[in-house]
Chains A and B, each alone.
Chain A
Amino acid sequence: MQTANDIGVYISSAVDRYSDMVYRAAYHALCDRSYAEDITQEVFLKLMQALPDFESDEHEKAWLLRVTLNMCKTYNRKIYSHPTEELSENLSEEQKFGEGPVLEAVKELPEKYRTVVYLYYFEGYRIAEICELTGKNQNTVSSLLMRARQRLKILLEEDFDDEENRI
C-alpha cells in the first residue's frame, strides 16, 4: 500500500468484501440501520487509521468483526447512558416491516443472542471462533446459542435449526 493507487485498490477491495458483513453484524447488535451504517463507517475509518498487517483474509475479517462488535457494545452503552436516545425511535416503518419473519424473530432476541446467532448461522463461525471474537467463554456461547434456538422455536413455532448435534 505504498502508492495512492495501491491504497485505492485496497480500500475498494476491503469495502466490497467486508462492508456488508460489518453492516450486518452491527445491525444484529443494534437493530437499527442508521446506527449500523454509522458503525460501519467508523469501523472502516479505524481500519484506515490502523492499517494493520493482516496475516490473512480471515485475520482481516476477524479484526473487522471484533472491532464492529466492540464498537456496538460501546454504542449500546452510550445509548443506555443517555436514556432519551431510544434506538427504537429511529426505526422507520419501512425498517420495521421490511424484513423477513425469521430476521424479525431474531431481532426479538436480546443483543447477545442476536450476535452469536449471526456469527454462527450466517457467518458460519465455530463456537471456539465466536469465543475469540466476542470474548465470551465456550460454555456461555453454547448456552447462548441453545437459548436463542429455544426462543426462536417459540417465536417461529418451528425449529430454527434441526440439524442434530449442531452445537
Chain B
Amino acid sequence: MKKTEYKIEVEALTLSEEFKTGLKQKMLEEYESRAEREENIVKTKNSNVKKYSKYVALAACLLLTVSAVGGALTLSGKIQTKSAEVSDFAPKPETGVMNDTLDGEGAAEEPQSAPGENYADGGAEMPAAKEAEDVDEAVEDIAEDAEDVAEDAYDDSVEDFELLTAPANDTEEPENGENEDYVESVMPMSGNGYSYGVSPDYDGRYDGGAYVFSGSGSESNFAANIYQTAESVSISADTIYPLGLAPSRGTGGEITPDGELDDAPLEMPADAPDEEVEYPESYDVSAEDAAAIDFETLTSGFSYEYYDIRDGVIANLDETALIRFEIDGAYDGYEAVAKNITEPTYIDLTNQTLYSVRITYDYFNDEEVSVKAGFINIGTSENQLVGRPLMEGEYIAVVYQSGGVLEPVPQLIYSVKNVNGLDVAYHVYSDDGFMVDPGDTNMGLEPEELEVVTSTVNNPEIYTQKAAVSELTRYLKRNIMRMEPQLIDLGSLGAEPEGEQEPQPERRSGIKANYQSGGLRLEYSPDEDGLPKINGVEIGTDMETALKALYLTEYSFTPDAILTLYAAEEDGGWEAKIGFEDGVVVKIEIEE
C-alpha cells in the first residue's frame, strides 16, 4: 500500500545531528539575547520611571512654591488691610491672634473666610497701640516662612534637575522601594515575555495582524495600500449584500471567526442609489486579512483556492488569455452577429450580457494590443446579480474563447483602478464564488473600498481583494504559463480594427435586424448586388418571450433563401424559418 511506503519515505526525511546541535546552540543564543534585551528594557523603564518621578516631584515643588508665595502675598495683603482697620474695633485679647492666622486652622474650619478674619471677628479685646506692631511682626513671620518654603522648593528642584541631568548609566536606586512597585503596576512586563515582536498568537505570518501589505514595496505601491491594520478591516456582509442576499442568521455562529455579531451601524455607500435601501440587521466580520474572509460561510456561494481554479478550470481550457480590457457597451446578440463580433452560433442571452470590449493588453505575450471583441458574462439589466452585469470601465480577466466571443473565468475578473498613481486590480465578487487571494498578492481593503461601484440597486460591484496590477498579472502569468496553455490569437478577434470605420456586414448580407420595443424587425436593404427590395418582416408575438435569445443561425441571404432564426428558453426553443421568394416573405414557420 502506497500510504505505508509514503510514511516510510517521509520518516527518512530527517535533519542531521549536526544541524540539530547547531540549531540548539542558536536557540540558546537567541534566548540569551532575548534575556539581555529584556534586562535592558527593564533598566530603561526603571530609568524612565525615575525620571518621571523626578519630574512629578519637581512639578509638585514648583506648584507648592507658587501656592505658598501666592498664599503669603494674599494673606499679607489681607492682614495689612485688617491692620489698617483694626483701630476701629474694640480691644481684643493679645493671645491667640497669630495662632489663628498662622496655623490656618480657622481657614480650615471656615473655608469661606479669608485668613485673618478670625482675628477681626474674634471680638477679643486688644490694646490698639500694640495691635499694628504685632500684626506687622506676624506678617514678617509669614513672609519669612513663605520665603523659606520657596527656597526649599527651589533647592529641591535644583537637586532634582541635577539628578535628571545625570549620566544615563546612573544606576542609583530609588530612595525607597516605591518606584519599583510603580514600574510593575504602571508598566508591567509581559507575563509571557512576548515583547519582541512575537505575540502569543504569532502564527508565522509576516503580514498577519499588524499589517497586511504585501506589495512590491514601491513608493506608489505603498501609497496605494492604505490598509494598515488588520483590526481596521471590518467587512459588513450587509454592505456586500444590501438586498438581504446574505445568508440566514440561523447559523450565525459560523458567520464570524469568533461567532460574534456586531450591531455596528452601516454607512450608506457614497454612490448609493437615491432610493433608500433597507439594510437588514448588520454584522461585521473581522478578518485577519482579506484572504481570510470566508465567503463560503458568509454566503451561499462557493469559495475556491486559486489552484482549484487553475487546475480545475484553466487547465481544461482549449485556449486562454490574460487580458486587460475596457468595456464600451453591450450588444444584443443580433447586433453582435451583424457586426461580426461573434460567430453566428447560438448564444443564450437570457441571463448573459454580450459586451463590446476593447482589449488593451495581452499579459501572456506581454504586449499592448488594440482589439475590439465580444465578451460575454452572466447578468443582464433585467436579471441583475451581485456585481453583474459588469460596469463600464477597465478590467483584467483570464478568458477563454467561446463561439467567437471571450468568456471570463468567473472567479478571475478584476476591476482596474488607479490609486495614488498605482494600477490596482480589485477582485470583483460574483455569485460564481469567492476566490482566495492568488499568490498572496492581496494588499487588503479599506472598508470604504469594498463597494465602489453602485450604479443600480441590485448589482453593486463588490471587491474582496486588491492587488497591484503588476504583481497580480505577473503571478498569474507565471503560474498559468507553467501549464503551457494554448493562447488565444487575440488578433483574430478584431472585428472592428482600431482606426477603421466600422464595417456594415448587414448591408453585405442585405439584411438588417433591429430589436425594437419587444419585437424583432427585420429590414432588408438591397445592396449593390441588385437584390430585390422586400418589405420589412416582423416576427410575431410568439417570439417575443425569447427575444433575448433570438439568434441568427444563417445570415447569408438571397432572395429565395430561407432565413433561419433560433430562439430559446430554458425548457426548449423555437426555430423560425422565414422564407423569401423573389424578395417577398412567403412563410414564417415557428417550430417549438
- Tell me whether A and B are bound partners: yes
- Provide the B190-223 mask, 1 if CB < 8 A to any CB of A, else 0: 0011101111101111111000001010000000
Q: How far is the CA of A141 from the CA of B496 in the complex (A)?
A: 47
The winner among A43, A70, A83, A152 for most chain B CB atoms within 10 A is A70
B13 touches A27 (CB 8 A): yes
Interface of B is mostly: helix
B13 touches A24 (CB 8 A): yes
Q: Chain A residues near B297: list those with CB within 8 A.
A: 137
B207 touches A74 (CB 8 A): yes
Q: Chain B residues near A50: list those with CB within 8 A.
A: 192, 194, 198-200, 202
B296 touches A139 (CB 8 A): yes
Q: Which residues of A, 120-167, contact B by the 8 Å Cβ criterion?
A: 121-122, 135-137, 139-140, 143-144, 147, 152, 156, 158-162
A41 touches B23 (CB 8 A): yes
Q: Chain A residues near B30: list those with CB within 8 A.
A: 45, 48-49
Residue of B whose beta carbon sits closest to that of A120: B3
B20 touches A122 (CB 8 A): no
The yes or no answer to B26 lying at the interface (CB within 8 A) is yes
B478 touches A80 (CB 8 A): yes
A45 touches B27 (CB 8 A): yes
Q: Chain B residues near A20: list those with CB within 8 A.
A: 13-15
The yes or no answer to B313 lying at the interface (CB within 8 A) is no
Minimum CB–CB distance from A115 to chain B (whole Å) comes to 11
* Segment of B4-12, B456-464, B514-522, B551-559 engaged in the interface with chain A: B4-12
Residue of A whose beta carbon sits closest to that of B30: A48
Interface of A is mostly: helix
A66 touches B9 (CB 8 A): no
B6 touches A160 (CB 8 A): yes
Q: Which residues of B, 529-573, contact A by the 8 Å Cβ criterion?
A: none
- Within 8 Å by CB of A53, from B6, B12, B192, lies B192
With contacts A24-B13, A137-B297 taken as known, whether A15 is within 8 angstroms of B214 at the C-beta atoms is no
Residue of B whose beta carbon sits closest to that of A118: B10
Minimum CB–CB distance from A85 to chain B (whole Å) comes to 12
Q: Chain B residues near A73: list those with CB within 8 A.
A: 205, 440
The winner among B8, B12, B203 for most chain A CB atoms within 10 A is B203
Q: How far is the CA of A122 from the CA of B308 in the complex (A)?
A: 23
Q: Which residues of A, 48-66, contact B by the 8 Å Cβ criterion?
A: 48-53, 63, 66
B471 touches A81 (CB 8 A): yes
Q: List 18 A-B contacts (CB under 8 A).
A: A14-B27, A15-B27, A23-B15, A37-B19, A44-B27, A46-B198, A49-B197, A51-B192, A51-B193, A67-B204, A69-B204, A70-B203, A74-B207, A106-B6, A137-B297, A144-B305, A159-B2, A162-B1
Binding site for B on A (CB under 8 A): 7-8, 11-12, 14-16, 19-20, 23-24, 27, 37, 40-41, 43-53, 63, 66-71, 73-74, 76-77, 80-81, 83, 99-103, 106, 110, 112, 117-118, 121-122, 135-137, 139-140, 143-144, 147, 152, 156, 158-162
Q: Known pairs A24-B13, A27-B13, A77-B440; list 19 more (Cβ under 8 Å).
A: A19-B20, A45-B30, A49-B196, A50-B192, A50-B202, A51-B34, A51-B192, A52-B192, A53-B200, A67-B204, A99-B9, A100-B12, A103-B9, A110-B311, A112-B307, A121-B3, A137-B303, A140-B305, A159-B2
Binding site for A on B (CB under 8 A): 1-3, 5-10, 12-15, 19-20, 23-24, 26-28, 30-31, 34, 192-194, 196-200, 202-208, 214, 216, 292, 294, 296-297, 303, 305, 307-308, 311, 439-440, 471, 474-475, 478
